Structure 1
Amino acid sequence: MAQFRETPYGVFNYLVDLSDGSETDVAGGFSEISGLNAEVTVAEYRAGNQKTNYVTKVPAIHKSGDITLKRGVIGAENLYNWLDQVRSGDITAKRNVVVKLMSENHSESVVQWKLVNAMPIKWTGPTLTAKGGSDVAIEELVLAVEHITQE
């Protein structure tokens, strides 16, 4: 259940439960999560005998956007293996992924978003360059989700 307070929570303390047992493990640690969104489409309707000259907007299908997870390359194969499971046509590959925004002291979850029937649709490896520098090798996983709930 989301916890209300007057000041907003910071965006830097969160956990991701991939439903693979890696939630508090380094293999489940992500540096960035983006794309949490839900949208309701509308159908426009107007009867020819309506006295007003504008359309009525009726709620139609709702959809959720794709979610992008980024983490440093650590040699863990759980994301790529999950993508491979989907590519091989395994119909059990869909999972409920939970993103938990944590309190400042990491003691409790203050808001949770459940990504219902998530499955990977794109994996992107790091950009490699011989120029050197202090950048970290980042891999990215894009999840298609059927529905997002907030708790």
Structure 2
Amino acid sequence: MAATGDKQEQPWPLPKFYFSVSVSGDVAQFHEVSGLDMEAQVIEYRHGDSKEFAPVKMPGLKKFSNVTLKKGVFAADNKFFDWINEIRLNTIARRDVVIALLNEAQQPVQVWSLKQAWPTKIVGTDFKSDANEAAIETLELAHEGLTVQTK
């Protein structure tokens, strides 16, 4: 018979709706985060005297997707537009971004860290006179590395 609550041998998966995002130490409220993925590119190689009729597959460079953040539009909150406007010819204000999945006690359970992130795209909200929903803007970040840490 399975135990309940804290005594379970196999705990439930963590809910994904309780998270925090920190940009250079500043906590920002986001509605949605996506694109936390990486892959290793495949290098195919076959040396000249190989008796096999297929190449050997080796791991190559790591590749990271851009991370997309969605948040509500608030009055006098233009910090992400200001950040993308700081980009000048080969001058970018890179910042570290920390995304933490939280438990009920607001403690991080798993943390994703983006190294040297910078905004590549901001999409402002759309407007509809007959809509009954919050204004949402989208921020897309490029970065140079993704690490995952379990607390």
Tell me which interval the TM-score lies in, with the shorter structure as reference length: 0.7 to 0.9
Cα distance in 1, alignment partners of residues 106 and 72 from structure 2: 25
Cα distance in 1, alignment partners of residues 146 and 41 from structure 2: 15
Whether 1:78 and 2:83 are equivalent positions in the alignment is no
Q: Look up the SS of the partner of 1:83 in the other structure.
A: helix
Q: Within 5 Å, give how 1:15-26 maps onto structure 2.
A: 15-19=20-24, 21=26, 23=27
Task: Please name the residue that 1:59 is paired with.
Answer: 59
Aligned AA (1:79): F
Q: Provide the identity percentage.
A: 34
Deviation at 1:78, TM superposition (A): 1.1
Cα distance in 2, alignment partners of residues 79 and 43 from structure 1: 38
Deviation at 1:133, TM superposition (A): 2.5
Cα distance in 1, alignment partners of residues 89 and 41 from structure 2: 32
Whether 1:124 and 2:123 are equivalent positions in the alignment is yes
Q: Is the 8 A contact 1:95 1:119 kept in 2?
A: yes
Aligned AA (1:58): M
**Structure 1: where are the runs of 5+ without partners?**
none
Deviation at 1:20, TM superposition (A): 5.1
Aligned AA (2:124): G
Deviation at 1:89, TM superposition (A): 4.7
The match for 2:145 among 144, 147, 150 is: 147
Structure 1 segments of 4+ aligned residues over 3 angstroms from their partners = 87-91
Largest Rg, 1 or 2: 2
Cα distance in 1, alignment partners of residues 127 and 49 from structure 2: 64
TM-score for both structures, normalised by structure 2: 0.86
**Structure 2: where are the runs of 5+ without partners?**
1-9
Deviation at 1:106, TM superposition (A): 3.7
Deviation at 1:88, TM superposition (A): 6.2
